[in-house]
Amino acid sequence: MHILDCRQRTRHRTTHPSTSRARTRDRIEREAERLNELIGQLLTLARLESGAEATEKELVNLASLVDEIAADADFEARSRHRAVRLVTSEEYTTTGNAELLRRAIENVVRNAVRYTAEGTAVEIALGGQRTGGDPQAVISIRDHGAGVPEAALADLFRPFYRVADARDRQTGGIGLGLAITERAVRLHGGTVTAANAPDGGLIIEIHLPART
């Protein structure tokens, strides 16, 4: 009776071959997706470095663009018990490549969603300022995560850079999103900065030449 019970427990614990194959297939698919993402981001980064990406220019309504990005990101964030909220949105436009600007802003927003604490909202604000008399649009993206060490802030936009002690490697990032953002914004005559919020979290600001 004892031997029979042991065999039954052993048989119960044994993973069915079809289940094992399904898990292996899922793992392969995930790795393939990550590889495709890496290749795509590397190609984008190479084109940005060569200056070949932002060739077509048009008038871009930043208010509409940021609103669309916030809505899409909020829909995705809800499944992770997080949210994305557009707190202010002033009417600004800029001249550039709309798709490239979308990608640059989305990279920052998705990065913020990845690291903001569960139950919190990523806050996006679109405002403006003047530098030397020239108007600038300022897009601010703030998360409520752990932030990063002050010494690491300047390195956030380097390719493949990740802050292991403050930004968990298990989130799946490969360290290219912010690098792509910085180069895309620079091609549009703008700048990107990062700072820790006084009460926690990271704030990234995108500055672009603009007009009201």
Contacts of 130 (CB under 8 A, 6+ apart): 136
Structure tokens at 85: 């909220």
Q: What is the pLDDT of residues 64-100, one digit of tens each?
A: 999 999 999 999 999 999 999 999 999 999 999 898 8
* Domains identified in the chain and CATH numbers: 56-209 (3.30.565.10)
Which strand ranges, in their side-by-side order, compose the sheet holding 83-89? 83-89, 121-131, 134-142, 202-209, 191-196
- State residue 152's pLDDT score: 87
**C-beta atoms surrounding 106 within 10 Å:** 17
- State residue 131's pLDDT score: 72
Alpha helix (H) residue ranges in the chain: 2-13, 17-50, 62-78, 98-115, 177-187
One digit per residue, pLDDT tens: the chain, 212 residues? Answer: 454 455 455 444 555 666 776 767 666 665 555 545 545 555 565 566 666 565 578 899 999 999 999 999 999 999 999 999 999 999 999 999 898 899 999 999 999 999 999 999 999 999 998 877 789 999 999 999 999 889 888 888 887 666 654 444 444 444 678 888 898 898 889 999 999 999 999 999 999 998 76
- Could you give the C-alpha distances from 111 to 11, 59, 99, 105, 184, in angstroms and in order? 44, 27, 18, 10, 16
* Extended beta strands in 90-168, E state: 93-96, 121-131, 134-142
